[in-house]
Amino acid sequence: MTAQPEAPHDLVGIGIGPFNLSLAALAHGLPRQGTGELATAFYDQRRDFRWHPGLLIDGATLQVPFLADLVTLADPTSPWSYLNYLRHKERMFPFYFAEQFHIQRAEYDAYCRWVAGRLPGLHFGHQVDAVRWNPERDVFEVDFTQLDSDGEAEALGRTYTRNLALGIGTAPHIPEPLRPLAEAPTVPVIHSCDYLDNRERVLGAEHVTVIGSGQSGAEVFLDLLRARPAGRERLTWLARTPSFAPMEYSKLGLEHFTPDYTRYFHALPEPVRDQLVPAQWQLHKGIDADTIAAIHEELYRRTLHGGWPDAVLTPGVSVRTAGRVATTKVELHLEHTQQGTRSRLTTDAVILATGYRERPLTSLLAGLDPYLRKDSSGRPRIDDRYRMILDPSITGSVYVQNGERHTHGVGAPDLGLAAWRSAAILNTLTGKEAYPQPARTAFTTFGLDQREHARPHPASELLPLVEHP
């Protein structure tokens, strides 16, 4: 007798970072269409939850308030809120008296790990290998490999689902000229995501170069500066940007991270969206003003007894090429954009605070490629409810988390929109307003005609699970 395949889930999430963890938390206990609770499962190849462990530098804080946790901006009463985490840890009163609106990164990581450890339906140590559409059952087939504690294959499995949520996150970006050096073990050329694991080794280097003008580069530079003796800092900080610029943090500037702006951006023509994203770098790639102030204060403090710190901070510089000198040093070939000049820098260690790139979906979704609708640049088209636009023959939906910057703008990777996006996905999936969303979220009116884009979809418009052009 042939075994019957398992009943399909309502939703399977691939990847368990903060965004899919938010989705899992808000989906927990939610009624499904018909009877019972929403059936969900989430898979991640890592052994447990970790959020940028290499950058949990002592004292480094989030750039968003603690209210931008996994659930609060969609459901303040949720048991998975940061405040409920504090209550369970018996730390509510210390937090109250600390008067901290921006919590430390390490605290956010601990909170997310608390949620991940208590929330059912999360499967760590499971690597998703392939996704296919089964037209006979009208479900997605998800193949995975269960990994042992050493990351080796232990067992193969398959699950079925009516809908998918892709939250595979981003990967560290290493510029092409430095990739061969980053792979060599003799000289420390490391991405900032691995900074803490290599901190002692880097501190032992005679001269250290930090490359990158964003928040991570600033935090790494500050940590190194504080750890090295006055007058013998031997630090260089380089950046391609014209200046070490502060992040846009004005109240009206922050309204670019509201659902109102997301709806406005999504409705713009594709060429306009592609021009806007790089032009808005200071909204998310600048440096927190407090961090800039702390760096300047530390540098100034080192001038009190005369002399200047042995630290070079130079913006407007790009690395053309790089190579090893003997086996213990790196030579960087530099070019200054505005001057049009070139120079060389010999250093003993390099920290690459060069950001992250969206992980490509090509391999994972190879089985769905014939069904995907793409834009003129070959990227997946994503509708205003975070669903990939698919061939009408597919009745399920593929939702995208932090892979839709080209269609939804700079707010895609922002933690402050995590709960709102998760709620929007669940409202669409269930066909009802499981989480009522505000009609307006910004004082700014983006564009001249907002009548069609100034409100979220009411429940009456959420019933169709797939929208096609």
What whole-number distance in Å separates Cα of residue 217 and Cα of residue 219? 6
What mean pLDDT, rounded, does the chain reach?
92
CA angle 372, 427, 253 (to 5 degrees): 85
At residue 397, the pLDDT reads 97
> Looking at the predicted structure, is the pLDDT value of residue 326 above 90?
no
At residue 180, the pLDDT reads 87
Percent of all residues in the chain with a pLDDT value above 90, rounded to a whole number? 83
SS3 44: strand
81: DSSP letter: S
What's the CA dihedral at 368, 275, 289, 218 to 10 degrees? 60
Q: Where are the domains of the chain?
A: 11-169+359-461, 173-247+285-355
User: Does residue 198 contact residue 205 with C-beta atoms inside 8 Å?
Assistant: no
> Looking at the predicted structure, is the pLDDT value of residue 148 above 50?
yes
Euclidean distance between the first and the last CA atom of the chain, given in angstroms as a whole number: 43
Condensed to tens digits (0 to 9), the pLDDT of residues 254-304 reads: 999 999 999 999 999 999 999 999 999 888 889 999 999 999 999 999 999
At residue 54, the pLDDT reads 93
Condensed to tens digits (0 to 9), the pLDDT of residues 59-101 reads: 999 999 999 999 999 999 999 999 999 999 999 999 999 999 9
Which are the contacts of 75, defined by CB distance < 8 A and separation ≥ 6? 26, 419, 423, 435
**Mean pLDDT, to the nearest integer, of 401-414?**
95
How far is the CA of 67 from the CAs of 70, 238, 295, in angstroms? 9, 34, 27
> Looking at the predicted structure, is the pLDDT value of residue 132 above 90?
yes
How far is the CA of 90 from the CAs of 84, 93, 340, in angstroms? 10, 8, 58
Residue 450 pLDDT grade (very low, low, confident, very high; cuts 50, 70, 90): low
Architecture of the CATH domain 173-247+285-355: 3-Layer(bba) Sandwich (3.50)
0.85 surpassed by pTM: yes
**Mean pLDDT, to the nearest integer, of 28-56?**
91
Kindly write down the DSSP assignment for every residue of 401-416, as one continuous string.
SS--HHHH-TTTT-GG
Condensed to tens digits (0 to 9), the pLDDT of residues 345-396 reads: 999 999 999 999 988 888 899 999 999 999 999 999 999 999 999 999 999 9
Query: How many other C-beta atoms are found inside a 10 Å radius of the C-beta of residue 254?
Result: 17
At residue 468, the pLDDT reads 36
What whole-number distance in Å separates Cα of residue 228 and Cα of residue 290? 21
**Mean pLDDT, to the nearest integer, of 447-451?**
72
**Mean pLDDT, to the nearest integer, of 151-166?**
95
Q: Token pair for residue 54?
A: 């290499």
Architecture of the CATH domain 11-169+359-461: 3-Layer(bba) Sandwich (3.50)
> Looking at the predicted structure, is the pLDDT value of residue 312 above 70?
yes
